[in-house]
Every structure is written in structure tokens, then in C-alpha cells.
Structure 1
Amino acid sequence: MSLIGEERKDTILNMLNYAGKVRTNELVEKLQVSSETIRRYLEELENENQLKRVYGGAIKINYDREEPSHLMREVSHADEKRRIGRAAASLVQDNDIIVIDDGTTTLHMLHFLVNRKNLKLITISVPALNLMMEYHNKEMFSGEIYFIGGRVQPKHFRTAGTLAENMMQGFFVDKAFISIDGILAQHGISSYDCEKAMIAKRIIENAKENIVLTDHSKIGVSTFYKVADLKQIDTVISNVAAPHEWLHELDAKGVNWIVAD
């Protein structure tokens, strides 16, 4: 494969990360090559497990068809999540009212919040609740803690459902820190779980500022249930830069993308 061929394949993957799928006729026009050449590129990328060919084009591979358990997520990309959590915590100011969504990435934020003064912290995450109570009992955290009650999802150590949604509707917050299962520039953020997505919608509606935390594995992925368009999100914090193909869309929708170092 020539250098220009590799560059074309990179372009195909960037387009795939942007929209989750590509069409052969679009690639012919974009790359100014024949449809036979495009089919060869797609075949090579499929052999490299980079995509899955379908009639008329290709789609992004999503190996996970359901949300991993909390324990599995806890050990996945742990170092990246810690850096993302630290960067997210740096956005929290004294006297803020914040909501911490369920998720192992958002959980990493909490270690960096102990010195903030007069915080009000709201969460649906049982591990987040336990950790902040521990910090409070050790006099390392002096703020107020609110737990959103509802139906417990034991596999994911969180609450969800109608009771949780109704309770969340009663809170208005300065900043919401949202965990996700997938993000696409065109289609926004998504979740595997319908009930989790619904409470995330309520959180986003009641926050002045919405901040998404995501490691690289969620970028270019679309999961079962849509949570929000990117225009509803103010900031994305990740361990990698935004895909180049996304930059215009992010700018048009007013999304600030922060790379955690």
C-alpha cells in the first residue's frame, strides 16, 4: 500500500468516526478515485478489523452490544479516566452546585474535589455516594451530598427509572458532569440503557453547563439510546483530541473540546 493509499484509508476512518457510517459513492466523490478502488480500501480496512462492510458502504464496528458492568468499566482505560477526572474537577469552583452522573470516569473526579468549599453535590452513583460520605466522615469534604433515589440497577451500582427522573427534576445545578457510552458529531451522545439515558436527559435540561467526560473508546460510537445533541453540550473532556473531521461541527455547535493531560 502506497503512502497516498494509507492517507486515503485514514480519511475513510475519519469520516467513519464522524458519522458512524460511510457510503461508497460519497467516498468516490471525496477521494476522487474509482468505486473499485474504494471497495479495495474498504476490504483492506475490514481485514484489519477497522470497519464492517455493508451494502453500499461500511459502518463502524461496535463490539460491545450491551453496557459492561461497573466492575468491568472500573478497570478499563483507568489511567485515561483518572486524567479526564482531574481535568473535569479543575472546572469546579467553590460554592458550585454540581451533579455527578453515574460512571467510572466521573467517579475519578471526586478525588480532586476534597478541597473545594461549600459544594453541593448530587449523584445517582452508589460508589460516588459511598466515596463522598467517606471523605465527609474523615473531614476531608465539608459540602452537602444529595443522592437521587429510585430503582436500583445492581449491575451498574446506580439508580434509575421514573422515581429518579422525578427527583432530578427538582434540582437545578451549575454544572453537570455526564458519562456516556458513545459520541458522534452528527448524532450526539448516546447510552446503552434507556432508563440511564432518560435521567441523563433530565440532568442536562436542569444544568446551566453540561460537560461530557469520555475516553477515546467512546468516540465515533453510537449506542442504543440517544441522550442529547452536541448543541446541548458545552464541553467535552477526553484523553485525545477531537477527530479532525469533527472540528467544523463542534465549532458550529459551540462545543469546547478539552484534552486531559
Structure 2
Amino acid sequence: MSLVGEERKEVIIHLLNYAGKVRTNELVEKLQVSSETIRRYLEELESEKKLKRVYGGAVKINYDREEPSHLTREVSHAEEKKKIGRAAAKLVQDNDAIVIDDGTTTLHMLSYLINKKNLKILTISVPALNVLMDYLNRELFTGEVYFIGGKVQSKHFRTVGTLAEKMMQNFFVDKAFISIDGILAHKGITSYDADKAMLGRRFIEHSQEIIVLTDHSKIGISTFYKVADLKEIDSVISDVPAPKEWRHELDQRGVNWIVGE
């Protein structure tokens, strides 16, 4: 592979987005340069805060070791989330029954659903519930809203837990719009929170179509609790294209990657 230094570093970043980590010996073989050259590239990328060096290679930086609060997430990547929400709303048809997961990305869907007719919306998000009730009171929305009750996580303005899971088992919907904390091609989608991950599985089991909403900061990240494999997902909506190295696996698993505009 005959590439200049900046192109080689770009390859390293793409590989990080694919796997979440890279090994020095594998990079030596792939880029056909010395281990000293690879170490220099990794040092430069670390100084640019694009990765973290570890013994034998490097890993993608994940600044958050726990899920940020709703208020923190609300101001993070707001413009990107708006584009994702608008693209997600385009997938909703009149008369659909849908689940809208909690999260600030899914919240951006709501204003684009006003002109849809006869929707049935289920949510665990308190902010989403407040917005939808306001729409109902102002006659901007004519569908039905169901709140999935359970254990309240006040930091995240949502409900989770076994009661929420049992309530969800009484419903079957057309589409589930899922928020996540991490996505990797070979590991699937993940969450920081065990209760949230389990409830996400119930959404998937009781939905005909699964749509994941994620901004670029979650791509190439794996958090502690697994929600689902990539093959269980129908579509991913993001603000950026899928990493090049993922395209074969996405095609193989029938996952449609949509870029919000």
C-alpha cells in the first residue's frame, strides 16, 4: 500500500472506527511500513486527540465512562441530531404505531411528526411525553400517546426496569426508533445502562422495523451492555456516512445506512 503519511493516518482512523482498536503489528503489515513509523503515526494522532495509545497499539477515545445526563446530551451535537431526527420522521407513515426511545436525538423527531395522521406513539421519555401532550392540547397532533411507566431514572428523564418491560410486552408496533450509546460493526449496538439495554431488547422484539439513531460520536464505540447485533437492525440514521470498512458487513446484514440532511 503506497500512501503518504497523512493518508496512512486516515487509514488508521478508519480502522479504529471499524473495530474500536488497532494493533501495531497489524498496521505494519497493512501499511507496509516499519513499526517505528507506525508508532510515530500513533503518537501524532494521540497528540491530535484522535486516539489513545495502549500497549501494542491504540484504541478509540471514549471520553464518557458513564452515560451523560439528559441536560448534557441536550446541548451536545444539537444540529447533527436535528438532521437525524428529521430523517427519522420521514420514515414514519400515516397510521403507524411507533416506539420513540428516550434520548435527545429521538426527541428531535417530534416536531416533524405534526402533519402525520393517526399515529400511535409509545415512549419512555418524559421530555417526549411533555412535548406530545402539548401538541395534543394545542390540537397539533391527532394520534394517541402511550407512556411506558416503570422505574424513574431522574438524571435521564426516563423510565426503565421490569415494569416497563412487562408493559411493552402488551404492544406490537410497526417501527421502533432506538437511541444508543455505541455502535460497532462486529459488536452491534450497546448501552451504558443495563435496564436501558434490556428495555431496548423488548422494543426490538415487539417491532416490525428497527431504526437506530446515532450521531458520529457513538460510531466506533462499544459500551458495557449489549442491546442487539447489527443483523437485528433494519436501518441506521446518522449525520455521517458509514465507515468504509463497515459497508460489506452492512450490506451482508441488510442494514440500510441513512445520512440525515
State the TM-score bracket (shorter-chain normalisation). Answer: over 0.9
- Residue ranges of structure 2 left out of the alignment (5+ in a row): none
Q: CA deviation at 1:210?
A: 0.3
Aligned to 1:39: 39
Inter-partner Cα distance in structure 2 for 1:253 and 1:32: 31
- Spell out, residue by residue over 1:111-169, the C-alpha distance to the aligned partner (whole angstroms, 9 max, x if none): 01111111110000011111111101111111111110100000100000111111112
Matches within 5 A, 1:1-261: 4-261=4-261
- Spell out, residue by residue over 1:221-247, the C-alpha distance to the aligned partner (whole angstroms, 9 max, x if none): 111211111111110111111111111
Letter of the 1:235 counterpart: S
- Spell out, residue by residue over 1:74-106, the C-alpha distance to the aligned partner (whole angstroms, 9 max, x if none): 111111111110110000001101000001110
Inter-partner Cα distance in structure 1 for 2:114 and 2:202: 26
Letter of the 1:83 counterpart: K
Inter-partner Cα distance in structure 2 for 1:156 and 1:242: 28
Inter-partner Cα distance in structure 2 for 1:129 and 1:173: 18
Identity %: 77
Q: How many residues align?
A: 260
TM-score normalised to structure 1 length: 0.97
Inter-partner Cα distance in structure 2 for 1:203 and 1:183: 17
Inter-partner Cα distance in structure 2 for 1:213 and 1:82: 11
- Spell out, residue by residue over 1:163-188, the C-alpha distance to the aligned partner (whole angstroms, 9 max, x if none): 11111122111000001111111111
Q: CA deviation at 1:37?
A: 1.7
Letter of the 2:152 counterpart: V
Letter of the 2:82 counterpart: R
Q: CA deviation at 1:14?
A: 0.5
Q: CA deviation at 1:44?
A: 1.6
Inter-partner Cα distance in structure 2 for 1:40 and 1:76: 32
3-state secondary structure, aligned to 1:203: helix
Letter of the 2:212 counterpart: V
The list of structure 1 runs, each at least 4 consecutive aligned residues, that deviate by more than 4 angstroms after superposition, is none
3-state secondary structure, aligned to 2:4: helix
Inter-partner Cα distance in structure 1 for 2:169 and 2:24: 45
TM-score normalised to structure 2 length: 0.97
Inter-partner Cα distance in structure 1 for 2:33 and 2:228: 36
Q: CA deviation at 1:39?
A: 1.6
